[in-house]
Amino acid sequence: MASAQESSLSTNSRDRSSIRNFFFSNEFGLLFLILVFATIFALLTTGFTSRFNLYALGRNISIDVVIGFSMMVVIVTGGLNLSVGSIGVSAVMFGGWLIEGMGSNLPIALILLLLGGGLLGAVNGVMVVRTGVHSFIITLATMSVYFGLMIWLTQAEAFRNLPPEVATFGRTKIYGYLSPLLLISLGVAIMLAVLYRYTSLGRNMLAAGANPTAAELSGVNVKRTFILCHALSGLLAALAATMLTCRTGAAIPSMTGHIGQDWLLPAFLAPVLGGTLLSGGKVSVLGTFFGAVLVSLLTNGLLLLQVSEFWVQAVLGALLLSAVLLEKLRNVVLLQNRFI
């Protein structure tokens, strides 16, 4: 029967079309932009290709990537998590207290603070699922609650006497210009890619995010899946804040800004640039990674070009704006030429 041949062919044609599609993809576009800007900065500035700058850039990229992932894993559900910054700082302050206040050793404090972040995320998830209220308003409330609790409990005092390993790890250079933090973010990226591609849980997350009712009626436990997405988001936020602590060497209550607002822009920039659908059900781990790279690269290059750091924020906002507008335009053009 013809149809039998058709579907046995299908895996091949999937591979072929995916190679062709790569050149029309967001990821390719981002990679192209990254190369263009890297070239421009290398030519126009003196310090861009210096070992130290590449090292510092890598360190920033790795943190931005994980912040971006912490948002991406919730955007999958069609929701969002405004409290990533609050969760991140709360988790590392908790870790700092475990070490300085309780005399806990580093690995245990690390595990507990990551779990703590996951727990705060899970609390978001439970409230979203139970009340049916959009995650925007729930996480808007919890970003205030978590941050308030943290600042009240710590009395806004930083933990500066962390074990020396923390800062040493943050300063370690592999081959002179690679930060080990970059390896962590690569590891996270690979794990997430595997999660969405090669596990039943990851597929459930995508299905539940794309169409919760259809997924539920097909036997996916949507509520549990959504709670897990939020927990994962909390965990990754805690991880990102830990990496930031390694860079600064101390756990500081203001490290993510007032109620964690400073993380909002980088957290959304990376996944949105990377082509993650805000309505849920589609992610691009590679895209988010490239998105974060582009953001860090631009920040770094503009600062080297003597652009004041204040204007850099305006540029990043404009970047987000032009990214979503271009994406819209690209879809219109692709649709008209029937590429998709």
Partner 1 sequence: MSQQITLKTSGISKSFPGVQALQNVEIELHAGSIHALLGENGAGKSTLIKILTGVYQPDEGSVKLLGQAVSFSDTKEARRQGIAVVHQERHLIPRFSVGENLFLDRLGEKAWSWVDYPKLHEEAKPWLAAVGLDLDPQTPVKQLSVAKMQLVEIAQAISQKSRVLLMDEPTASLTPHETEKLFSLLQKLKEDGVTIVFVSHKLEEVLQICDYLTVLRDGQNTCTSQPIAQYDRQDLVQLMIGRKEQIPAWQTREVNRQSPKLELRQVSTEAGHQDLNLQLYLGEILGFYGLIGAGRSELAKSLIGYFRMTKGEYLLDGKAIHVSGVSVARDRYAIGYLSEDRKSEGLILQHDVLQNSGITVWRKICSKLGWLSDQQVTNRVSPSIDKLEVKTPSLAQMVGNLSGGNQQKISVAKWLAAQVEILIVDEPSVGIDIKTKAYLHELIRELADQGTSILLITSDMPEIITLADRIIVMDDFAIKGDLPNNRNYEEMSTGIMNLIHS
Partner 2 sequence: MPLQKLLKAEWSGLLLVVTLAIILIGYLKPSFLTPFNIQILLAAISVNMVIALAQMLIVGIGQMNLSVGAIGGLVAISFAGLMDVFQLPIPLAVLVGLLIGLAAGLFNGVIIAFTGISAFIITLASLSVFKGINLGITEAQPFYGVAESVKSFGNSSFIGTLPLLILPALLALIGVWFLLNRMRFGRHVLAVGASPTAAGLVGISVRNIVIGTHALSGLLAAVAGMMVVARLQIGQPTIGDDWLILSFAAPVIGGAVLAGGHVNVIGTLLGVTTIAIITQALVLFEIDPFIVQIFLGLLILWAVGINRLRDLRLTLFSKPA
Which residues contact partner 1 by CB under 8 A?
1, 3-4, 6-11, 13-14, 17-18, 198-201, 203-204, 206-207, 210-211, 213-221, 277, 281-282, 338
- Residue 166's contacts (CB-CB under 8 Å, 6 or more residues apart) are 106, 245, 246, 249
Residue 219 contact among partner 2, partner 1, none, beta carbon within 5 to 8 Å by kind: partner 1
Nearer to partner 1, 13 or 50 (CB): 13
Question: How far is Cα 112 from Cα 105, in angstroms, rounded to an integer?
Answer: 11
Judged by CB under 8 A, the number of residues near partner 2 is 46
Among 317, 333, 334, 339, which residue interacts with partner 2 (rule: CB under 8 A)?
A: 317
Residue 131 touches which of partner 2, partner 1, none (Cβ within 5-8 Å per kind)? partner 2
Site for partner 2, residues 221 to 260, rule: CB under 8 A: 258-259
Residue of 115, 140, 210, 304 that binds partner 2 (CB under 8 A): 140
**How crowded is residue 322: how many other Cβ atoms within 10 Å of its Cβ?**
11
- Compute the least distance from the CB of residue 80 to partner 1, in Å: 19
> Which of partner 1, partner 2, none is residue 134 near (CB under 5 to 8 Å by kind)?
partner 2
> Residue 335 interacts with partner 2 (CB under 8 A)?
no
The smaller minimum CB distance to partner 2, of residues 96 and 280, is found at 280
CA distances for 115 relative to 9, 26, 183, 310, angstroms: 45, 33, 21, 35
CB of 107 to partner 2, least distance (A): 31
Say whether residue 312 binds partner 2 (CB under 8 A): yes
Q: Between 123 and 208, whose beta carbon lies closer to partner 1?
A: 208
70 neighbors 139 (Cβ within 8 angstroms) = no
- Residue 178's φ and ψ, nearest 5 degrees, are -105, 130
> What's the rounded Cα separation, in Å, for the pair 295 and 323?
12
Measured N-to-C along each axis, helices 135-154 and 84-100 cross at an angle, to the nearest 10 degrees, of: 30
- Rounded to 5 degrees, what are φ and ψ at 308? -65, 145
Q: Which does 49 bind (CB under 5 to 8 A by kind): partner 2, partner 1, none?
A: none
Question: Distance between CA 76 and CA 281 in Å, rounded?
Answer: 5
Angle of the 222-248 helix axis to the 200-210 helix axis, nearest 10: 110
- Contacts of partner 2 in 61-80 (CB under 8 A): 80
Q: Which is nearer to partner 1, 15 or 309 (CB)?
A: 15
Min separation Cβ 317 and partner 2, Å: 3
Instruction: Give, in order, the Cα–Cα distances in Å from 251 to each of 62, 140, 158, 259.
Output: 18, 23, 6, 15
* Contact predicate 209/281, CB 8 Å: yes
Q: Looking at beta carbons only, is 14 or 155 nearer to partner 1?
A: 14
Q: Which residues are CB-neighbours of 116 under 8 A, at least 6 positions away?
A: 90, 91, 94, 95, 238
C-beta of 276: minimal distance to partner 1 in Å? 13
Rounded to whole angstroms, the Cα distance separating 306 from 100 reads: 40
Residues that bind partner 2 (CB under 8 A): 80, 127, 131-134, 136-138, 140-149, 151-152, 155-156, 258-259, 261, 264-265, 268, 272, 278, 308, 310-318, 320-321, 324-325, 328
